[in-house]
């Protein structure tokens, strides 16, 4: 039953008035008067109340302003989970500046690209990373400050007086965050998220008589996923603060330390990714700790196996377990389990949840682009004021992702069932996900082609039990060994972009327009 009438799916929850007059930091601190003396941030070193978090953010805003940061300037946050990450992010919002977050494990080459594209004026980091911030490689000057003791010739984290926070006129249409994502194709690009898009997206979870994701002031939300990635940045930091909950910041994942922290701080909400869910169900140490405080577990950012979901249910019989499905470009949340709502709905195992309120979703036939009815597989598209404005300085990639009618095309294949639940079945885009980390094939292909003995290359995902997917390369070249190719890449990229297998071939299959026929290569892997 294909026809041109559009099948649009909406939330079961009614639309709400969106607080689109507020800037992101105003919205995240909306509860400040009520929760001023509640715990906001818990780190290994100390805790901060909401009042202290707000004050510290304002002091950092004053300090950054003294360093010359102005409205519209990009600030790179290159930090592990820490109170300083939150202060810097909120301070950037207060100044009308733009936070571009990056993985502290990135290599100098990877950081160099993001610094150049974002045109960052300041990097806030740890002294251990300053050697990777190469001024010479850039065509613009940026300052570097460290939140720990700075090495020689570097400056400490800036703090001014609260009274020195400048008055800045900021519009809700201004950019506040610029995370990087490769989207459906090509290299990593800056994703323009405005105050309006992020406030909308947080409101879609947190507002209304029946909030889609119900967090309470008494909740202790686990922040073990990195804040530089949109998942934790949004669901833990922004939603957690909007709710007035306490956020438990875990700087480095180590199983026993994590279990201890959950027990000690009585974590109630655990935001996880599939590899962590699997670890929690398989690691025997889990039985030695009291995890009964956990009332809710959300998994997102990669497919969660049915077995892992069931095993976690057995481990945490009192917790509501469900998924969220998001994409950096979609602001980020598309769907969320309605089991997390204040007045929850029944949900099915394997479902990624239901589309958020104040948004529209459609499933399109990849060939005809016609929208499909329930239970038909197709590409998931979403529309609403939460989605990105576009990619920074890349109109072509923006137009390929957001169509003329405002629909964002995710490159994910899925369907909506009779109860409005969304199930993901495949990823049709180039993107490889090692665990939940983005591995853009185009980046590795460029790198491989830069090798003097490599004429052409293609990188595709291979299924992997532990990581979900790993990148493998098809390479055309001479005098090459597999190890030499692997080493060449490994030296220049963060650990999760390493090539796991190299296949030497005579030619890369391509279409007439020169596009790599990735499907063909993936099919080859299935038979190898």
Label the pairing between strands 378-383 and 468-477.
unpaired
Alpha carbon separation from 59 to 64, 160, 171 (Å, rounded)? 9, 5, 22
Nearer Cβ to ligand AYL (61/392)? 392
Exposure of 424 by Cβ count < 10 A (0-12 exposed, 13-18 middle, 19+ buried)? Answer: buried
Report, in Å, the least distance between residue 330 CB and ligand AYL: 8
Query: Of 259 and 460, which has the nearer Cβ to ligand AYL?
Result: 460
Nearer to ligand AYL, 117 or 352 (CB): 352
Q: Which CB atom, from 276 or from 352, has the smaller least distance to ligand AYL?
A: 352
Q: Which is nearer to ligand AYL, 428 or 473 (CB)?
A: 428
Number of helical (H) and strand (E) elements in the chain, helices listed first: 15, 27
Contact indicator for 385, 20 with CB cutoff of 8 Å = yes
Q: What is the DSSP string of 209-266?
A: SS-SS---TT-EEEE-S-TTSHHIIIIIIIHHHHHT-EEEE-SS--HHHHHHHHHHHT
Q: Report, in Å, the least distance between residue 331 CB and ligand AYL.
A: 9
Closest approach, Cβ 339 to ligand AYL, in A, equals: 13
Closest contact distance (angstroms) between CB of 163 and ligand AYL is: 37
The alpha helices in 49-194, defined as continuous H runs, are 50-66, 83-94, 108-118
Closest CB to ligand AYL among residues 63, 326: 326
| CB-nearer residue toward ligand AYL: 83 or 414 | 414
SS3 state of residue 497: helix
- CB of 106 or CB of 231, closer to ligand AYL: 231
484 SS3 class:
helix
Q: In the bound complex, what is the minimum distance in angstroms from residue 369's beta carbon to ligand AYL?
A: 19
Cβ at position 265, least distance to ligand AYL in Å: 22
Q: Which of 176, 172, 231 is nearest to 19 (CA)?
A: 172
Question: Burial letters for 510-527: b for 16+ Cβ neighbours within 10 Å, e otherwise?
Answer: eeeeeebebeebeeeeee
Three-state SS at 379 = strand
d(CA 364, CA 415): 10
CA 204 distance to own-chain centroid: 17
Q: Are 93 and 238 within 8 A, CB to CB?
A: no
Minimum distance, C-beta of residue 378 to ligand AYL, in the bound complex (Å):
14
Q: Which is nearer to ligand AYL, 196 or 409 (CB)?
A: 409
Cβ proximity to ligand AYL, 41 vs 271, nearer residue:
271
For the beta carbon of residue 169, count every other beta carbon within 10 angstroms. 7
The rounded distance, in Å, linking the Cα atoms of 441 and 122 is 29
In the bound complex, what is the minimum distance in angstroms from residue 22's beta carbon to ligand AYL? Answer: 20
Alpha-carbon distances, residue 366 vs 197, 361, 409, 429, 513 (angstroms): 27, 15, 10, 12, 19
Tokens of 130: 């300053």
Nearer of residues 65 and 114 to ligand AYL, judged by Cβ: 114
- Residues 353 and 421: beta-carbon distance below 8 Å: yes
Site for ligand AYL, rule CB under 6 A: 181, 230-231, 234-235, 300-303, 323-328, 332-333, 336, 352, 410, 412, 424, 427, 438
| Beta carbon nearer to ligand AYL, 52 or 379 | 379
Please, what is the minimum distance in Å from the beta carbon of residue 190 to ligand AYL? 13
Residue 15 Cβ vs ligand AYL, minimum distance, rounded to whole Å: 19
Q: How far is the CB of 239 from ligand AYL (least distance, A)?
A: 9
Q: Which candidate, 262, 250, 351, places its Cα nearest to that of 300?
A: 351
Bridge pairing between strands 360-364 and 180-181 = unpaired
Measured from the CB of residue 424, what is the shortest distance to ligand AYL in angstroms?
Answer: 5
Whether the CB-CB separation of 180 and 189 falls below 8 Å is answered with yes
* Helix ranges restricted to H, 266-404: 274-282, 306-315, 395-401
């Amino acid at each position: 039953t294909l026809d041109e009438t559009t099948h649009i799916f909406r939330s079961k929850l009614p639309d709400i008035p969106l607080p689109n007059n507020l800037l992101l930091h105003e919205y995240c601190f909306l509860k400040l008067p009520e929760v001023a003396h509640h715990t906001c941030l818990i780190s290994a070193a100390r805790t901060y109340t909401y009042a202290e978090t707000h004050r510290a953010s304002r002091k950092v805003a004053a300090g950054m302003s003294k360093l010359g940061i102005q409205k519209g300037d990009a600030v790179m946050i290159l930090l592990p989970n820490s109170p300083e990450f939150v202060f810097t992010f909120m301070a950037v919002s207060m100044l009308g500046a733009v936070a571009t977050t990056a993985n502290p494990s990135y290599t100098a080459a990877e950081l160099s690209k993001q610094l150049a594209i974002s045109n960052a004026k300041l990097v806030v980091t740890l002294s251990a990373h300053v050697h990777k911030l190469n001024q010479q490689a850039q065509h613009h000057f940026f300052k570097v400050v460290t939140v720990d003791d700075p090495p020689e010739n570097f400056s400490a984290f800036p703090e001014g007086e609260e009274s020195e926070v400048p008055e800045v006129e900021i519009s809700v249409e201004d950019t506040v965050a610029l995370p990087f994502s490769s989207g459906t194709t090509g290299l990593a690009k800056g994703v323009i998220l405005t105050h309006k898009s992020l406030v909308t997206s947080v409101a879609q979870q947190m507002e209304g008589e029946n909030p889609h994701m119900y967090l309470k002031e008494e909740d202790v939300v686990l922040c073990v996923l990195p804040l530089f990635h949109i998942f934790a940045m949004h669901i833990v930091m922004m939603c957690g603060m909007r709710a007035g909950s306490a956020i438990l910041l875990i700087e480095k994942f180590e199983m026993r330390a994590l279990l201890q922290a959950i027990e000690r701080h009585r974590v109630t909400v655990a935001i996880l990714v599939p590899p962590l869910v699997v670890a929690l169900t398989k690691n025997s140490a889990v039985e030695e700790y009291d995890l009964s405080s956990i009332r809710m577990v959300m998994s997102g950012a990669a497919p969660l196996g049915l077995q892992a979901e069931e095993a976690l249910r057995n481990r945490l019989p009192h917790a509501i377990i469900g998924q969220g499905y998001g994409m950096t470009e979609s602001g980020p949340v598309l769907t969320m389990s309605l089991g997390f709502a204040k007045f929850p709905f029944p949900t099915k195992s394997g479902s990624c949840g239901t589309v958020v309120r104040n948004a529209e979703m459609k499933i399109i036939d990849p060939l005809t682009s016609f929208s499909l009815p329930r239970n038909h597989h197709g590409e998931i598209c979403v529309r609403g004021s939460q989605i990105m404005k576009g990619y920074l300085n890349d109109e072509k990639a923006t137009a390929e992702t957001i169509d003329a009618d405002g629909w964002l095309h995710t490159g994910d294949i899925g369907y909506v069932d009779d109860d409005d639940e969304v199930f993901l079945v495949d990823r049709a885009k180039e993107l490889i996900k090692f665990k939940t980390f983005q591995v853009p094939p185009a980046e590795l292909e460029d790198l491989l082609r830069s090798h003097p003995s490599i004429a052409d290359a293609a990188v595709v995902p291979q299924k992997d039990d532990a990581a979900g997917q790993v990148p493998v390369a098809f390479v055309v070249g001479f005098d090459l060994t597999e190890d030499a190719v692997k080493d060449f890449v490994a030296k220049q990229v963060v650990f999760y972009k390493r090539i796991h297998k190299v296949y030497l071939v005579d030619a890369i299959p391509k279409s007439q327009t020169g596009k790599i026929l990735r499907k063909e290569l993936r099919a080859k892997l299935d038979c190898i």
